[in-house]
Structure 1
Amino acid sequence: MEYTSADAVVNLPNLFSDLVRCETRLYNALTESLRAQHGIVTSQFESLRFLRDHPGARVIDLATEFAAGVGAMSKGVDRLERQGWVARQPNPADRRSSVLTLTDDGVRLVEAAEETFTRKLAELLGNSVPDASLSVVAQAFSRLRAALEHDRIGLPAG
């Protein structure tokens, strides 16, 4: 099915296919770099980065951010905790949940991994997308994400 705007015709199924395949390939390439340099995968890096940037976050906050199931996210946090990168603290506002904090090792890891992540992403995008187009792409995805999140579209069932 094609979508026609004022200045272009876009094949929506092809756009979706390109979007998903690009995301998968970028994710895999970033995982390769993070694993080789730091012994972690992209999902672990993203969780650590989120926890660094959102003090007091809980498992539910991670699940919401990444549109993942709470159970799956809790298992991921368990792995981070076993590695000594994350600690669970009692939540003073709700005894049924824990607040997640990065340990000193977790802080050092996410900061070092962020350099690798950013460098690799810049290399991958810089080799394929002209600078002028990159800001347009970034704005388009930011708007799309905001709309999907606002309307609560694509949340996991259960």
Structure 2
Amino acid sequence: MTDLTSLFTDLVRLETRLYNVLDTRLKAEHGLPLGQFEFLRFLASRGTARVYDLAQWAAITVGATSKAVDRLEAAGRCRRIANPGDRRSSLIELTPAGTEILDAARPTVDAELTTWVGSVLPAGNLEQLATMLSMLRQRAEIDPRTDRAEPRPTPEP
């Protein structure tokens, strides 16, 4: 029988090590922290988003997300525009500079993930892992008290 506590520890340690490797390389080669890369990727996949949408997707607070967007905006990588559907919020969109750095950074991330994950697992196992992690993530986004999902933007492909 699988020791779920050990499995949890392995997942957390793997995530931490992968995050640190990717973050270090992105900062060194592109001056782009991994968190900003992830936000840029989210925005690129949607065109525009509210701070709330980013916060829900990243599972962090709206305040932390707003500060992260402030940093992206100060770097010229995104901009806030008026939300035509809700005057109380603004929409965030990539700038050409944001698109440019995202396009430059993607191969760096792909290379690191290939080294640390793709080269370790056979293709079939990698596909199974992706499916299982997606299932676990979806379950983790359901409130166990109500057995209902919190409203969240659609996960990235």
TM-score, L = length of structure 2: 0.88
1:116 counterpart (84, 108, 118): 108
Matched, 1:20 2:12: yes
Match of 2:2 in 1: 10
Q: 1:42 aligns with which of 5, 25, 34?
A: 34
How far apart are 1:130 and its partner, in Å?
3.0
Q: How does 1:1-158 map to 2 (within 5 A)?
A: 9-151=1-143, 152=149
Rounded to whole Å, the distance in 2 between the matches of 1:114 and 1:41 is 13
State the TM-score, normalized to the length of structure 1. Answer: 0.87
Aligned amino acid, residue 25 of structure 1: R
Q: CA deviation at 1:146?
A: 1.7
Percent identical among aligned pairs is 46
1:10-59: CA deviation from partner (whole Å, max 9, x where unpaired): 00100000000000000000011111111011111000000111122010
Gap runs ≥5 in structure 1: 1-8
Further displaced range: 20-29 or 128-137: 128-137
Give the AA of the match of 2:39: S
User: Which residue type is aligned with residue 112 of structure 1?
Assistant: A
C-alpha separation in 1, matches of 2:18 and 2:10: 12
Give the number of the structure whose alpha-carbon radius of gyration is greater: 1
Tell me the SS of whatever aligns to 2:80.
strand
AA matched with 1:80: L
Shift, 1:150, TM fit: 4.2
Q: Distance in 2 between matches of 1:19 and 1:66?
A: 17
The 3-state SS of whatever aligns with 2:43 is: helix
Counterparts of 2:119 and 2:21, CA distance in 1:
14
Q: How many residues align?
A: 146
Query: Separation in 2 of the partners of 1:50 and 1:115?
Result: 16
* Bigger mean CA deviation after superposition, 83-92 or 111-120: 111-120
Deviation at 1:62, TM superposition (A): 0.3
SS at match of 2:65: helix
Query: What secondary structure, in the 3-state scheme, does the structure 2 residue paired with 1:88 have?
Result: strand
Please, what is the CA RMSD of the aligned residues?
A: 1.6
